Amino acid sequence: MRDIDEIVSDFELLDDWEDRYRFLIELGRELPPMDEADMNEHTKVPGCVSQVWLTSRTDEGSPPRIRFAGQSDAHIVKGLVAVALSLYSGRTAPEILTLDAEALFARIGLQDHLTPQRSNGLRSMVRRIQADAKAAMEAA
């Protein structure tokens, strides 16, 4: 998975939104496949028009870091999943809860160029990731 700073930099190099959509699709294609067993009602993200599944696992390290995996059945949304995972995966729960995803998405222009349904879905993904981080903190 690409580093979030690399993704932001690549977005900033692309002026045309058609090119940015193609880049999002490319990011989605780079997502590792998700085990079919993990694509179920428990891991499905509510609030997304397309189907989106997210899983999380907490590493044993100190401090523990949360690793996310995700998948979608729609090309652009899959790219949005890749952006969200690049932003959040591998961070500690406190880091996840303090990240300003909205500012990052605004910086690369996602909020201005996504349909309202995709924007809502992206917010739903972020809420799910933050909920998993809160649960990890409570379990610690």
Whole-angstrom Cα distance, residue 137 to residue 7? Answer: 28
Spell out the SS3 assignment of 88-118.
Answer: HCCECHHHHHHCCHHHHHHHCCHHHHCCHHH
Whole-angstrom Cα distance, residue 81 to residue 75? Answer: 10
Catalytic residue among 24, 48, 83, 96: 48
Q: Any catalytic annotation for residue 48?
A: yes
Q: Identify which of 95, 106, 83, 79 has the alpha carbon closest to the alpha carbon of residue 130.
A: 95
> What are the residue numbers of the active site?
48
